[in-house]
Amino acid sequence: MQSSMAAAPEIDRVFGALADATRRDIVRRAIAGEEGVAELAEHYPMSFAAVQKHVAILERAGLIAKQRHGRRKVVRTRQEGLHIAQHLIDQYHALWQGRFDRMRELINHSSDSTEAPS
């Protein structure tokens, strides 16, 4: 877990960005990488400026990148940013799995030692 603590600000940015449903939807839509910010804005009941702010938060978190295609800026998901989130979740999963395995061992050991001899 210590390696994650060194990158805590980066992790906080990623999870902070993903905490919002609109931003998660933008990341989902950006996987195809075919829409610009203007096209993305059409999907949400908010102003273009509000969508631009969401995109900026996602960019700062490293979850998306804008690439110029002619006069358009196409929004694409950055897998590296998603890997940061996945890595932390995997670490927590391994930690809890280890604890469950240890509890299972303790319960099995306890039940083995309390069984009466036949």
pTM of structure: 0.75
Fold of 2-113: Arc Repressor Mutant, subunit A (1.10.10)
Helices (H), the chain: 2-6, 8-18, 21-30, 37-41, 48-60, 79-114
* Per-domain boundaries in the chain: 2-113
**Residue 15 pLDDT > 50:** yes
Average pLDDT over residues 14-29: 96
pLDDT 10s digits, 42-81: 999 999 999 999 999 999 999 999 998 888 889 999 999 8
The continuous run of DSSP H or E covering 77 comes out as: strand 72-77
* Percentage of residues in the chain having pLDDT higher than 90: 51
